[in-house]
Amino acid sequence: MDFRKIIAHLDEEGHFCSAVWGAVSPASELEIERIAHHTAKVTPGSLFCCLPGGRHDGHDYAEEARLKGAVAILCERPLAVDIPQILVDDARKAVNSLAAHFYGYPGKKLKMIAITGTNGKSTTTYLVRSILESAGIQTGLLGTIVYHDGTRETLAERTTPDCVELQEWLSRMVQNGSQACVMEASSHGLVQGRLEGCQFDAVGFTNLTPEHLDYHGEMETYFQAKRMLFGEYTRGQWTGAANEDDPYGRRLTEEFPDNVIPYGLVRCGRQTVHATVRSMDLEGIRLDVHFPSGNVARDWKVPLTGQYNIYNILTATTIAFGLGLREETIRLGLERVPQVPGRLERYLFENGVCCIIDYAHSPDALRNVLKTLGDVVRGKIWSVFGMGGDRYAPNRPLMGEVASELADELVITMDNPRSEDPGEIARQIEAGLKEGLRLKTHRIILDRPAAIHYALDHARPGDVVLVSGKGPEPYIIIKDKTLPYSDRETVMNWARARGLEFPHA
């Protein structure tokens, strides 16, 4: 895109202040090939956007960006860098406004679906994508686990990509022939404007429980961030799905009655998508699904387990129903859904021990997983988890309390301690343990692989070892270092060392 067209767009949107041309004549043609706001993503021909942040200021890296091939700068103050500069009052708002324009508004060429809420977003996006692809609709995916452009996938860096990266991924989806995108919309992403330039045809709300309150401060502020998806990022005759069993979900159905279809397990009115569960075990769920049309789809078999996954199934089903997809297509999509990495990821070993890897890293999420296992496991439940450092500390003793209530054996370990002492985090979890509940014994083993191996070595046939907190994350953060690490690899290494075959998920 021509540099002057970028200036014209920013001026039209009210972001442009002035330009410094350096050695380049304002009449010269200057083609911008890419937008980048991190030097690692600068390629020749880039416009480097200097974004101020909490720990780093992009203005300090302008010269490094020039040396890597940036041909222009977007910044909030003049810099001693001899390439053209666009001066704006707020660089972040300016680049958010520019991103979709630069990539040709790819979201307008896709069926756009987004899921928000505290828990269940990742699984629900996988379910929705499976349904859409069962309808013959090639679908890209953006979420906590992976980004997929319709052809290739890569591990996700964050739940909702930054605005530039998001628009670049949408552009790639269009180029690869995708017809739809399903994505997770995090509260951070909504508040920070990362979805700028996106409008959605269908949106879903799963639930709201205390999380990210170190960022949002209180639950009402957290809810208002989630509400933005429904109130500010929808288009046309959009459709929505909201959990009628969640008080915040009911607020959305009450505020948007013409667009939002309620679903639930407890509140099952005639206009609510709801389910009757026939059976549930570690292999999956069999259920009947009731639609507002009055139809009842009988004996669907979905390879997920747990009540919270019934809610995820209902979220996806309600979105698909709102989009007008046939019930048979919805059923096929649900039955064909692949196992979601780090979401009740199951490995049953020949010695009779089952290991489950799950991302649950909040009290509510851990409670949901442990309650699910309690309903389907005949032996003991071993819980292995830690808590991330530099995050909401009041959740730590609550995690211990949940383990006391729902686990038989507990091993407290580390999980991304960051700048904090992992031993102190473990002691704060331990402080929440309650006597006289289900938990029989516990121990602290800070070395995470050693903690997992200990639980697997001491589990007996019929027992389940739940390793939670990190899910599919391929790293562990200790102080200022991000080190390679995987719970799945740790479990595989344990199996190899014991001469056990590592089963397929």
Other Cβ atoms closer than 10 A to 457: 12
Which pairs from 293-299 meet CB under 8 Å and 24+ separation? Answer: 294/270, 295/327, 297/327, 297/330, 297/331
Tens of pLDDT, residue by residue, the chain (505 residues): 999 999 999 999 998 888 888 767 776 789 999 999 999 999 999 999 999 987 889 999 999 999 999 999 999 999 999 899 999 999 999 999 999 999 999 999 999 999 999 989 999 999 999 999 999 999 999 999 999 999 999 988 888 889 999 999 999 999 999 999 999 999 999 999 899 999 999 999 999 987 776 777 799 999 999 999 999 999 999 999 999 999 999 999 999 999 999 999 998 888 999 999 999 988 899 999 999 999 999 999 999 998 889 999 999 999 999 999 999 999 999 999 998 999 999 999 999 999 999 999 999 889 989 999 999 999 999 999 999 999 989 999 999 999 999 999 999 999 999 999 999 999 999 999 999 899 999 999 999 999 999 999 999 999 999 999 999 999 999 999 999 999 999 999 999 999 999 886 5
Alpha-carbon gap, residue 107 to 264, rounded angstroms: 30
Q: Where are the alpha helices (DSSP H) in 41-120?
A: 62-67, 91-102
Which pairs from 487-492 meet CB under 8 Å and 24+ separation? Answer: 487/342, 487/357, 487/448, 487/452, 488/345, 488/357, 490/448, 490/449, 490/452, 490/453, 491/347, 491/355, 491/357, 491/452, 491/456, 491/467
pTM, whole model, 2 decimals? Answer: 0.85
Asked if residues 240 and 230 have their Cβ atoms less than 8 Å apart, the reply is yes
Produce one character per residue of 40-66: b if its CB has 16 or more CB atoms within 10 Å, e if not: ebbeeebbbbbbeeeeeebbebbbebb
Q: Which domains does the chain have, with CATH numbers?
A: 3-102 (3.40.1390.10), 106-335 (3.40.1190.10), 345-497 (3.90.190.20)
